[in-house]
Structure 1
Amino acid sequence: MSQQQYPPQQPGWGGPQQPFGQPPFGPPPSKKAGAGKVIGLGCLGLVGLFVLIALIGGVAGGGSGSNGSKSTGDSKSVGDTKAGGSASEGDKKADSERKSGKKVVVFKVWGTAPVGALGPLNITYGSDSDNRDGTFKDGEFRATLPLDEDALYFDVTAQLQGSGDIHCSVTVGGKTKKAHAAGDYNICSAQLSAGMLGGWG
């Protein structure tokens, strides 16, 4: 049986000695997470936040049609003509208000919308904080409201009551959003939203 050999003790060193063949130092300390990783994750989070804000702005900014309605982003002036082809008195009033410097929002619905089992065409218009009911008469509806600069959006919706073919639009400062709905109980819905950097579109 062989005995383990130890190095000779040095004079003046008291206490136990490390066994021969073992390192005199303990294990190296563990590494902590570097600041680079934390900063990298923080930057990624900020980029993700900006992307999310941009997506929300894009969704809110687009006019949306539902239940078969179709929305387009055509820009036309407030003086659009109705289905009959001539400008109405309301259009002339909106033009005079615009020329006088007052900013207004113009809401329109036009087309054919027979009274159904649930009654006449159901129209709602206004902003995110102010909704009103409208009346469809002689194939059209038109209303104006003063422009509220603090509003997030302005919209008009019109629901058919069993049949018909209608168009709707909302106009702010020369920008117009339009939509269309036909048949059944489909809804025409046009919306203009305030942009992230101001303005309407």
Structure 2
Amino acid sequence: MPSGPRQHGPKWARKRIIIPAAVLTLFVGVGIGAAGGGEAEKTSADAKPGPTVTVTESAAAAKPAKDESKPAPTVTVTKTVKPKEKAKPAEPPAEEASAGEVVFKVWGSAPNGVDINYGSDSDSRSGKGLPFEKTLKLDDGALYYHVNAQLMGGGDINCSVTIDGETKKAHASGDYNICMAQANGGLLGGWD
């Protein structure tokens, strides 16, 4: 038997270092994933996940390795970028209806157009284009005043009817949905 110094240690000795390092990396990854997982519960159901950016750097760039024959470990840093919120359509300046007038408004975004109907139970009219605003003389005999705006293939719109300082508002978004606001005549006068 030759009695010289061993050049390489037994293979099991290397495993004593590699296996615990792999297990530690796994637990750190699970911990990071669990910490970020709470944020997903706070987002709305229809929100799209943000993009993930992965940066890979060689550990050798940060600290030279003692043994150049071994490859340097790779460090991966993952950052999640939150998506920007969509801008809500700006509401036009509040214009109160003068006594004896009814104001109909439709505003927002409708790239494919919008079909607008407005008026009372006895007077029906139509209009097009955004922003839309029309004023009619108040008929005390009317049971209700309404505005209906139907999207023509997509968009995000709001609509309102204002009578004597009382405003009824509605909202529609996407495809061929309809925004409908209606002010009803009260039993004891006024508008609900």
What is the rounded CA distance, in whole Å, between the counterparts of 1:84 and 1:168 in structure 2?
Answer: 12
Shift of residue 167, structure 1, vs aligned partner: 0.3
How far does residue 113 in structure 1 lie from its aligned partner after superposition?
Answer: 0.5
Confirm whether residue 133 of structure 1 aligns to residue 133 of structure 2: no
Provide the C-alpha distance between the structure 2 equivalents of 1:163 and 1:123, rounded to a whole number of angstroms.
15
SS in 1 for 2:191: coil
Asked if 1:106 is matched to 2:103, the reply is yes
Deviations 1:24-71 (A, max 9, x none): xxxxxxxxxxxxxxxxxxxxxxxxxxxxxxxxxxxxxxxxxxxxxxxx
Counterpart of 1:123 (choices 105, 109, 116) is 116
Equivalent position to 1:155, from 125, 128, 146: 146
Within 2, Cα distance between the matches of 1:194 and 1:122?
Answer: 25
- 1:86 to 1:123, Cα distance in 2 relative to 1, 3 A: closer
One-letter code aligned to 1:108: K
Secondary structure of 2:174's aligned partner: strand
- Cα distance change of structure 1 residues 103 and 158 upon mapping to structure 2, 3 Å threshold: same
Quickly say closer, same or farther: Cα 1:196–1:125, change in 2 above 3 A.
Answer: same
Per-residue CA deviations over 1:67-116 (Å, capped at 9, x if unaligned) read xxxxxxxxxxxxxxxx546639xx4xx66xx2xxx41000000000012x
- 1:196 match: 187
What is the match of residue 27 of structure 2?
A: none
Question: Which amino acid is 1:156 matched to?
Answer: V
Structure 1 residues 181 and 86: CA distance shift in structure 2, 3 A: closer
* Contact 2:158–2:171 (8 Å) recurs in 1: yes
Match of 1:145 among 131, 136, 159: 136
Tell me: CA distance 1:176–1:85, structure 2 relative to 1, closer, same or farther (3 Å). closer
Greater RCO (Cα-Cα under 8 Å, separation 6 or more): 1
Whether the aligned pair in 1 keeps the contact of 2:114 and 2:129 (CA below 8 Å) is yes
Give ranges in structure 2 of 5+ residues lacking alignment: 1-88
Which structure 1 residue ranges, 4+ long, deviate > 2 Å from structure 2?
83-88
Q: Aligned-residue CA RMSD in angstroms?
A: 1.8
The answer for the alignment partner of 2:34 in structure 1 is none
For the residues of structure 1 that align with 2:91 and 2:152, how far apart are their CA atoms? 25
Instruction: Give the one of 69, 84, 87 matched to 2:93.
Output: 87
Asked if 1 retains the 8 angstrom alpha-carbon contact of 2:92 and 2:107, the reply is no
Shift in CA distance, 183/145, structure 1 to aligned 2, threshold 3 Å: same
Higher gyration radius (CA):
1
- Structure 1 residues 144 and 197, CA, compared in 2 at 3 Å: closer, same or farther? same
Does the residue aligned with 2:154 lie in a helix, a strand or coil? Answer: strand
* Aligned ranges 1:1-201 → 2 under 5 Å: 83-84=89-90, 87=93, 91=95, 98=98, 102-115=99-112, 120-137=113-130, 140-201=131-192
Structure 1: gaps spanning 5 or more residues: 1-82
